[in-house]
Structure 1
Amino acid sequence: MKIVGVAACTVGIAHTYIAQEKLENAAKAAGHYVQIETQGTIGIENELSEQAIQEADIVILAIDVKISGMERFDGKKVIKVPTEVAIKSPNKLIAKATEVAGQQS
Structure 2
Amino acid sequence: MTMIIAVTACPSGVAHTYMAAEALESAAKAKGWQVKVETQGSIGQENTLTAEDVAAADLVILTKDIGIKFEERFQGKTVVRVNISDAVKRADAIMNKIDAHLNPTA
Q: TM-score range by the shorter chain?
A: over 0.9
Q: Which amino acid aligns with 2:73?
A: R
| Distance (whole Å) between structure 2 residues aligned to residue 102 and residue 69 of structure 1 | 29
Query: Where does residue 24 of structure 2 map in the other structure?
Result: 23
Query: Following superposition, which runs of at least 4 residues in structure 1 exceed 6 angstroms of deviation?
Result: none
**Contact (CA 8 Å) 1:5, 1:37: kept in 2 or not?**
yes
Shift in Å, 1:12: 0.3
RMSD: 1.1
Query: Where does residue 13 of structure 1 map in the other structure?
Result: 14
Q: Which amino acid aligns with 1:77?
A: T
Shift in Å, 1:99: 2.3
TM-score of the pair, normalised by structure 2: 0.92
- Overall identity of the aligned pairs, in %: 44
| Distance (whole Å) between structure 1 residues aligned to residue 93 and residue 99 of structure 2 | 10
| Distance (whole Å) between structure 2 residues aligned to residue 64 and residue 3 of structure 1 | 20
| Distance (whole Å) between structure 2 residues aligned to residue 86 and residue 58 of structure 1 | 15
Q: Which amino acid aligns with 1:49?
A: T
Query: Where does residue 70 of structure 2 map in the other structure?
Result: 69
TM-score of the pair, normalised by structure 1: 0.93
Shift in Å, 1:101: 3.0
| Distance (whole Å) between structure 2 residues aligned to residue 54 and residue 99 of structure 1 | 22
- Number of residues of Structure 1 aligned to a counterpart in Structure 2: 103
Q: Deviations over 1:17-54 (max 9, x none)?
A: 00000000010011000000000110000000001111
